[in-house]
Amino acid sequence: MKLTRQGRKRVFTVANGVILTVVALLMALPLVWMALTSLKADPDIFSATPLAAPESLTLEHYEVLFSKFHFGQASINSVLIAAATTLISVLLGGLAAYGFARYPWRGAGIAIAFLMVARMVTPASLVVPLYAIMRTLGLLNSVTSVVVGVTALNLPFVVWILRPFFESVPVEVEEAGELDGLTPLKVFFRIVLPLAKPGIMTAVLYSFLAGWTDLLFPMTFVTAPDAMPLTSALLQMQTGYKIYWGEVMAGGIYLTVPALIICFALQKHLVKGLRAGF
Amino acid sequence: MAYPVGYLLYLAFHTYRPLSSSEMKPAGLQNFAWLITDESTNRSLAVTLKFTVASVTIEMVVGTVCAVLLAQFMLAVKGRLGRIYSRVLGSAYILPFAVPAIAGAFAWKMVLDAQFGPLNAMLDRHTPWLVDYALAAVVVIDAWKMTPFVIFVVLAAVLSIEPTQYEAAELDGAGAWRRFTHITLPSILPVVTITAAFRAVDAFTKVFDTVFATTGGGPGSDTRMLPLMIWRTAITNLDFGHAAAQAIEALLISLVFGVALLINQRRGRS
């Protein structure tokens, strides 16, 4: 039997859907397993048959996170780091990007090229000078040191994302604002920022993620438990002879869920940011 | 940002080991001479390059194929249910990308665990994947995390192709394969190339959390990527001069690559 052109197309589409579904499931698998393991009781995790259905589900690993691994304080630190990074990056990055977009100056080309270079620096190599600087300033073991590190790394990216958005704001609108007697700074905050909102949202999303997920700076700068964010608290859990799989998986889920919620809520901006990279 | 980079340059020309003496001594080119002859740095560089080529290749191939299939699926499905499903699929691919690297690394460590991991249970064996196939495992984890990035970028490129082009080709009697090789592929090629270049620079410079949490650079030095190497030299051995020299080597390599990329992009535009 020969299929019609329409029929062939339909078969192709269905096959497509099946392949794509399999890929999506494969991608979700490690996370699903992590979630499942975090809810299993220890005998079910450390068992010879990990694929067997667990006898019961429990939240005890999540409780241990708070009672033994400082996750309460770490949550506060993570929120602080993410919030501060976002605020500083978007504010400074926004002003810088606006400057680049509106006030061309000699050397702007070099500055932009430098932004490009900054994105190619290995974060690990920034740790070297920053560690020495933080030591001298006595800022090791503080949330501030992490914020400074992450922000330094994140700022060039924010400027990079925001510049095209500001360029797309029509100059006439701003001129109208200036005619009404607004200062340039007021024009920026009252007129330009609201118009460039999609770009700002993208910058906020990526800055938040940068602060929330960063491991490099806290693991280097912070050794005191009370200044640790979630990422390095999670890393601490695997030292020693025994890996506390249940607790580690619970911690992983705990760290992941806020990032997932924000990414899905701002999905549109996430994808936009990916493409704004170049 | 400029200050740390400048300070990094300064450090590279000095000997600074706070462990043995708190003094910072000028070292001229000593650190760089050491760099060229140091075997573990060279080995680390080779491993990093291998990792970059392997993971970026996988990400580009899988990502581009998925993007093309997803675009076809999105355009072909009919009815509300189909449309909703294609949206769900599209969102599902965000998942690995949205997961913090350290959490993803631990999830994979569990999956690949020799004793209690589901993969070994499924295959009925006890392979310590992260030891026996360390580099391959790290490549797979990175590909898992970053393929979504490629999917989304390429998907946008595919969806921006004018549908009339396909209709015209179909009228001319071009089959699906010909339409793919003659319209789709040439249209998305510039985006694919530049995405690959960006991914390569990123993979080369930003592979850290995953390796640190899964293999720790081992076994031996099999997965000791350059960023990890720099970090170890500076923070574990407290040898800032050498670490700065390594950092500058890494920067120069990505810079050469980046400048080539920029020139290429300029030429493509004019």
Size of interface A-B (CB pairs under 8 A): 234
Partner residue facing A275 (CB), from B18, B95, B156:
B156
Q: How confident is residue B202, by pLDDT bands cut at 50, 70 and 90?
A: confident
- Confidence grade of residue A78 (pLDDT, cut at 50, 70, 90): very high
Helix and strand element counts for chain B (H, E): 15, 2
User: In this predicted structure, what is the pLDDT of residue B8?
Assistant: 76
The CATH number that applies at residue B190 is: 1.10.3720.10
- Mean pLDDT, chain B, integer: 84
Domain limits of chain A?
5-45, 64-276
Is residue A200 pLDDT above 50, yes or no? yes
A123 neighbors A219 (Cβ within 8 angstroms): no
* B22, part of any domain: no
Would the pLDDT of B137 be above 70? yes
pLDDT, one tens digit per residue, over B92-108 is: 898 998 999 999 999 99
The answer to whether residue B9 sits within a structural domain is no
- What pLDDT does B270 receive? 46
Residue B268 is predicted with a pLDDT of 58
Q: Which residue has the higher pLDDT, B13 or B236?
A: B236
> Both ends of chain B: CA-CA distance in Å?
32
Per-residue confidence at B265, pLDDT binned at 50, 70, 90? low
Residue A213 is predicted with a pLDDT of 92
Contacts of A166 (CB under 8 A, 6+ apart): A97, A98, A100, A101, A102, A192, A196, A199
Tell me the residue type at B24.
M
Confidence (pLDDT) at B21: 59
Q: Which residue has the tokens 């699903």?
A: A32
Whether B2 is in a domain gets the answer no
Average pLDDT (B76-85) is 84
Rounded Cα distance between A120 and B257, Å, is 10
| Cβ of residue B259 closer than 8 Å to a chain A Cβ | no
List, as ranges, residues 186-205 from B with C-beta within 8 Å of A: 194, 198, 201, 205
Higher pLDDT, B3 or A170: A170
B268 touches chain A (CB under 8 A): no
Contacts of B93 by beta carbon, 8 Å cutoff, 6+ apart: A23, A24, A27, B66, B70, B148, B151, B152
Partner-chain residue, chosen from B11, B91, B255, that has the shortest CB–CB distance to A129? B11
Average pLDDT of span A218-238: 88
Q: Please state, as a whole number, how many other Cβ atoms lie within 10 Å of the Cβ of residue A42.
A: 14
Q: What is the DSSP letter of A40?
A: B
User: When comparing pLDDT for B221 and A154, which is higher?
Assistant: A154
Q: How many helices (H) and strands (E) does chain A have?
A: 15, 0
pLDDT of residue A88: 94
Please tell me if residue A189 touches chain B, with a CB cutoff of 8 Å: no
CA dist list (Å): A103 to A10, A38, A159, B112: 54, 53, 14, 54
Give the separation between CA A85 and CA A92, rounded to whole angstroms. 11
Give the per-residue pLDDT at A229.
Answer: 92
CA distance A239 to A232: 12
Nearest chain A residue to B70 by CA distance is A20
Of the listed ranges A78-92, A110-124, B184-198, the least confidently predicted one is A110-124
Give the residue from B58, B224, B52 showing the smallest Cα distance to B140.
B58
Per the structure, how many domains does chain B have?
Answer: 1
Most confident stretch, A87-101, B10-24, B114-128: A87-101
Average pLDDT estimate for A152-162: 87
- Closest approach of B176 to chain A, Cα-based (Å): 9
Interface contact B221, partner A, CB < 8 A: no
Is B4 close to A129, i.e. CB distance below 8 A? Answer: yes
Task: Give the single-character DSSP code of B14.
Answer: E
Question: pLDDT band for position B25 (50/70/90)?
Answer: low
Q: Looking at the complex, report in whole angstroms how far the Cα of residue B32 sits from the nearest Cα belonging to chain A.
A: 15
* Residue B27, domain member (yes or no): no
Q: For residue B8, tell me if it sits in a domain.
A: no
Considering the four listed CATH numbers 1.20.140.150, 1.10.3720.10, 2.40.50.100, 1.50.10.100, the one that applies to the domain covering A64-276 is: 1.10.3720.10
- In this predicted structure, the answer to whether residue A1 has a pLDDT above a threshold of 60 is no
Domain around B107: 40-269
For residue A130, list chain B residues with Cβ-Cβ distance below 8 A: 4
* A127 to B235: CB separation less than 8 angstroms, yes or no: yes
Q: Cα separation of A83 and A190, whole Å?
A: 22
Q: CB within 8 A of B204, min separation 6: which ones? A: B48, B49, B52, B226, B250, B253, B254, B257
**B99 in A contact zone (CB under 8 Å):** yes
Label residue A25 by pLDDT band (50, 70, 90): very high
Residue of A nearest to B149 (CA): A274
CB contact under 8 A, B107 and A31: yes
Measured between beta carbons, the chain A residues lying within 8 angstroms of B108 are 30
d(CA B142, CA A67): 33
Does pLDDT of A98 surpass 60? yes
> B23 falls in which pLDDT band (50, 70, 90)?
low
Mean pLDDT over A74-98 rounds to 92
- Of A120-129, B32-41, B120-129, the least confident: B32-41
B147: chain A residues, CB-CB within 8 Å: 27
Q: What is the full DSSP assignment across A181-230?
A: T--HHHIIIIIIHHHTHHHHHHHHHHHHHHHHH--HHHHHH--SGGG--H
The pLDDT value recorded for residue B183 is 87
pLDDT tier, A82 (very low <50, low <70, confident <90, very high otherwise): very high
For residue A89, count CB atoms less than 10 angstroms from its CB and return exposed for 0-12, middle for 13-18, buried for 19 or more: buried
Whole-number percent of chain A with pLDDT over 70: 96
**Confidence check: pLDDT of B89 > 70:** yes
Residue with the larger pLDDT of the pair A191 and B61: B61
CB neighbour list of residue B145: distance below 8 Å, 6 or more residues apart: B96, B97, B99, B101, B104, B210
A43 has a chain B CB within 8 A of its CB: no
B228 with A231: Cβ contact below 8 A: no
- What is the C-alpha separation between B90 and B74, in angstroms, rounded? 9
Residues 6+ apart with CB under 8 A from A203: A89, A90, A93, A94, A158, A161, A162, A273
**d(C-alpha A62, C-alpha A44), whole Å:** 16
Q: Does A14 touch chain B (CB under 8 A)?
A: no
Per the model's pLDDT, the better-predicted residue between A40 and B144 turns out to be B144
Give yes or no for residue A153 having a pLDDT over 50.
yes
Q: Judge: A245–B116 Cβ closer than 8 Å, yes or no.
A: yes
CB distance A30–B176 less than 8 Å? Answer: no
* Distance (Å) from the alpha carbon of A241 to chain B's nearest alpha carbon: 14
Q: Is residue B16 one of the residues assigned to a domain? A: no
